[in-house]
Every structure is written in structure tokens, then in C-alpha cells.
Structure 1
Amino acid sequence: MRLLVRERLFAVGDDYWIEDTDGRKLFLVDGKAMRVRDTFELKDPDGLVLAEFRQKLLSLRDTMIIQRNGEKLAEVRRKRLSLLRNHYRVTLVDGTELDVSGKILDREFAVDYDGELLAQISRRWLTVRDTYGIDIVREDADASLLIAVAVCVIVLADKEHDKALGDG
């Protein structure tokens, strides 16, 4: 499943659609403004909330929590002891771990489980300016979880980059 995401998607307080390659609106990312921490909801076209993700307060490393139906589903954080700055770990509540690595700020990265590719995030196969794609490789993969992971990783990487530049 290939999805198209507009670059400005991650502005808190704005709402943006994620479309398929035919332009059909499949997911809405609803940024919640006026909150103490970054908060987003991923909704289907009918407005049903599929996942909520927000920055965790009071953690040593920047962390985002993904919830579904009010229950914690996963935590996303930069991987400790990694030589690569662009390496994140997603820990699901059942203990399963997903790895996210690549050039996050360039929107060129992958999500994998135990060495198996689940999703590829890339600008390479698109010609539309300020847009990148999420290619969910496995048909049985949880698309809303993988989209939430991509959003969280980008938000965390952008915040870390802004702090390094002195903007945040």
C-alpha cells in the first residue's frame, strides 16, 4: 500500500490528509494545538480515531507514546547507544521491537521487524514537491500503527534537529 504525505503534515494544530496514489483520502492526521505536548490523532475518512500519539512528558530522552482506544500501544524513542543519530526503536506493549533507521530528516528511512522490512518512507519515487511516500510492504501490517510510527519518528527527529540548531 503506497500512501502520499504532504511535507507540512507535522505542524501541530493543522489537519492533513494522507492519500493513496489515486488521490483518495485514507487517513487524516489531526494535530491538536494548545496542548502542553505535541499531540496528534490519526483518523479514518469517517472521523474514527485509529490512533493517538503524543510526546511523553518527564522522560530522560524524547519519547512519544502511541495509543489505540485509550490503551498504550507503543513507545517511540531514539535508540540508545547507536552510532547513527537516525536510529529509533519502537517498543510495543507486548515487548515486540521495531527498528527505524535511515535519513529521517531527508524522509528516507525504513521500519523493520527482526530484519524484515515493514514500511519504507521515501521521497525518491515521487515527483510532487514537498511530498513523500509511505510504502507499507506487508499486506497484513497494521497500517495505522506504521503511519503513527513514521509521524512520531519525524516529530522526534525534527525536534532534536531544532534543539541542535538552537531553535527549540
Structure 2
Amino acid sequence: MKELYIKQKVFSLSGKFTVKDQQGNDVYFVEGSFMRVPKTFSIHNNTGSEVALITKKVFSFLPKFMVEVDGREVLTIKKEFSFFKARYTIDAAGIEVNGNWWDMNFEVYQHGEVVGKVSKEWFTWGDSYKVQVWNEEMETIILALVIAIDCVKADQAAASSVVSN
């Protein structure tokens, strides 16, 4: 099993942060597009190669985020139409998310087998997540999934604050 730690900076406008391993070494670098359309988050490994890309679809009635890993689309997170509470679905071939993914406490399954677990770290400055990966072939997909869900949550929070003002 491999453990990764994601810690986002609270006051970072550019959306840059690193993903660390158990020893505190930087293993992935994440960079968001600031003030660009479409909004994207690019994930690079420690050699600088892009391993995943998260893109918010621009011309969509309801918010939709696509996740590409190694150049192929692996999952989509989209908002469903509802009157009272925001509901999102995750569409991915062979991948399921069970648990409370909105609160960042969930397990990731591939074809019924647990391949990873995500938990939010409490009492930290900014959003911090512990990502446990049992199947290392799924490492990039699980990492991209966590960052995409966090991006959806931030987008929802921004939309809510605009509506409430």
C-alpha cells in the first residue's frame, strides 16, 4: 500500500500545490489555470510529465468536469438537476466511489475490488487529504479523482457564495 498526502494552500490564487509521499517527498505537482477558460488542473509527476488533466466543461447547462489520465478520458463528474440539494454523479467505466465523497471520506473500487481509500485530515490549515492506494496502477486515477472532487466542491462553494450575496 502507498500513502499520498494532498495539502492545498488556503490563500493560493493560482491553485498550485504538491502531493507528497509518506516520507514528505514531493511526488506530484498540481497547477490550476488561473483566470483562463476552460478551468483546468494539470497533474505532473516529479519528472515534469503531465499524467492527468481535469477540465471543467464550459458550455454546459449544469457543471461538468472531465478527467483525463495519460491522454484518455477516464471519468466525468457532473451535477444533476435538483431543486433542493446539489447532487453530483461520477461516471467512470469500472470505477465506483462508495462512502461520503462530498466530505472526502470514501473508498474507490475497480470492478468490485477496493483499490484506494481517501480521508480528510482534520485540524489542518487548508484542505488536507490522505490517499491510500492499494493498486498502484490506479494511483494517478485515484489522485485525479480526489483533486477533481475538490475542484467540484470549490466550484459549488463559489457558486453558492455568489447566489447568497
Question: Taking structure 1 as the reference length, what is the TM-score of the superposition?
Answer: 0.76
Q: Secondary structure at the match of 1:150?
A: helix
Task: Name the structure 2 match of 1:118.
Answer: 115
Q: Secondary structure at the match of 1:46?
A: coil
User: Which stretch of structure 1 is more off in the superposition, 11-20 or 146-155?
Assistant: 11-20
Task: Name the structure 2 match of 1:132.
Answer: 129
Q: Secondary structure at the match of 1:123?
A: strand
Mapped to 2, the partners of 1:159 and 1:39 lie a distance apart of 12
Is the Cα contact below 8 Å between 1:87 and 1:100 reproduced in 2?
A: no
Query: What whole-Å deviation, never above 9, does each CA across 1:56-115 have from its counterpart, x for those lacking one?
Result: 12223322122345x432232247599x96763232xxxx24223433443222222333
Is the Cα contact below 8 Å between 1:61 and 1:78 reproduced in 2?
A: yes
Q: Secondary structure at the match of 1:35?
A: coil
Task: Name the structure 2 match of 1:76.
Answer: 76
User: Which stretch of structure 1 is more off in the superposition, 54-63 or 39-48?
Assistant: 54-63
Pick aligned residue for 1:153 from 142, 145, 149: 149
Mapped to 2, the partners of 1:86 and 1:110 lie a distance apart of 19
Higher RCO structure (Cα 8 Å, ≥6 apart) = 2
1:118/1:62 Cα in 2 relative to 1: closer, same or farther (>3 Å)?
farther
Offset, 1:4: 0.7
Q: Please tell me whether residue 62 in structure 1 is matched to residue 58 in structure 2.
A: no
1:17/1:98 Cα in 2 relative to 1: closer, same or farther (>3 Å)?
same
Task: Name the structure 1 match of 2:53.
Answer: 52
Structure 1: which amino acid aligns with 2:33?
K
1:138/1:43 Cα in 2 relative to 1: closer, same or farther (>3 Å)?
same
Task: Name the structure 2 match of 1:19.
Answer: 20
Question: Taking structure 2 as the reference length, what is the TM-score of the superposition?
Answer: 0.77
Give me the CA root mean square deviation.
Answer: 3.1
User: Which stretch of structure 1 is more off in the superposition, 111-120 or 42-51?
Assistant: 111-120
Gaps of 5+ in 1: none
Mapped to 1, the partners of 2:11 and 2:119 lie a distance apart of 16
Q: Please tell me whether residue 143 in structure 1 is matched to residue 139 in structure 2.
A: yes
